[in-house]
Amino acid sequence: MERRALITGITGQDGSYLAEFLLAQGYQVHGLVRRVALHDPERHLSRLAHIRDRLVLHAGSLESSTSLQQVVDGVRPDECYHLAAHSFVNTSFEDDLPTLGSDISGTHYLLAALTGKSPACRFYFAGTSEMFGNADESPQRETSRFLPRSTYGINKVAGYHLTRNYRERFGLHASTGILYNHESPRRGNEFVTRRIAVGVAQILAGRQERLALGNLDARRDWGHARDYVRAMWLMLQQKTPDDYVVATGESHTVREFAQLAFAAAGLDHREHVFIDPELCRRTEDKPLVGDPRKARERLGWHHQVDFAQLVREMVMAECDALGLALPLKTPAIPAASVVGNDAEKSM
């Protein structure tokens, strides 16, 4: 019998890759979207355009318990992937006040709807490395302490605990994936990786000369979203639900990302990048790098796209959109900080 999956946040980067993956696995894929998305699909459903006719989309809102009850009751999903959230990490709590409770309530409403209407459904909650925030150990693992430093991270910590409580109290097969930064050509324009890729293409096309960036020494554990959605699915195929760190185990600086991105276009980043203090975070947390050993050992998961491949794919997509060609040679990957290295442990 064809399995049914319900995805919140299906219009986003992760949602679109997950929808593709599940369709390839033979699922009937349902997505929760805002009504405006159905009225203006070219703007809101662009990442799904190539598979739109294979999806079943439902208008609904995470802010409405009644809406979620109706969607869950109608779909009766076998698996539910809760990806929807206000995902950009803003440094201003004042700007984020309207969203401080909405993500938490939406997660709670969805868990309650599943428990009442489809209790056998397996549930995935999208956590984030931002839950660790100002981490007091590196690399971080499933047992590391949460010290969020953003509204986004705080919301996700609350969602993690809600998911754990529904697992323990109601017996729901509910798991959380603590995902580190994952990118792709479908990443939003507000994220630094996409801004770099777009900037390189614009400079190569002669449309601009310089690219403004913030702290070039900021480190992140970057992987490809296509790899990470596979980890989400693997969690829900396990007999016992659990929580997993999903990461590459490597960290790279923004400078390294820019270096590779410009090199892919045959350019030198030092000739085009300048620092804009307005783009620097007020407080730069300790480097976040994940320890994916549990996911490797229990799920059999590992990332397949390396850092250099990720960067080149993102730049190539932006250049293709402008009708530009890249050099055939792939630039060498910079030295990374890897889980287990003494240098990483000392951070």
> Which among 219, 218, 238 has a CA at the least distance from the CA of 295?
238
What backbone phi and psi angles, to 5 degrees, belong to 140?
A: -90, 145
Go through 5-14 and write b for each residue having 16 or more CB atoms within 10 A of its CB, e for each that does not.
bbbbbbbbbb
Is 130 a catalytic site residue? yes
Q: What are 323's two structure tokens?
A: 């009708």
Task: Write down the catalytic residue from 115, 128, 151, 248.
Answer: 128
Task: Write down the catalytic residue from 124, 152, 180, 228.
Answer: 152
Is 128 a catalytic site residue? yes
Is 152 a catalytic site residue? yes
Q: What are 283's two structure tokens?
A: 């407080």
Q: Which amino acid is located at 325 in the chain?
A: A
What one-character DSSP code corresponds to residue 26?
A: T
User: Which helix or strand (DSSP H or E) is residue 250 part of?
Assistant: strand 250-253
Q: Are strands 337-338 and 250-253 parallel, antiparallel or unpaired?
A: antiparallel
Go through 78-88 and write b for each residue having 16 or more CB atoms within 10 A of its CB, e for each that does not.
bbbbbbbbebe
Q: How far is CA 259 from the centre of its chain?
A: 23
Task: Write down the catalytic residue from 130, 250, 256, 318.
Answer: 130
User: Which helix or strand (DSSP H or E) is residue 204 part of?
Assistant: helix 192-204
Provide the 3-class DSSP secondary structure of residue 273: strand
Q: How far is CA 189 from the centre of its chain?
A: 14
Q: Catalytic positions, please? A: 128, 130, 152
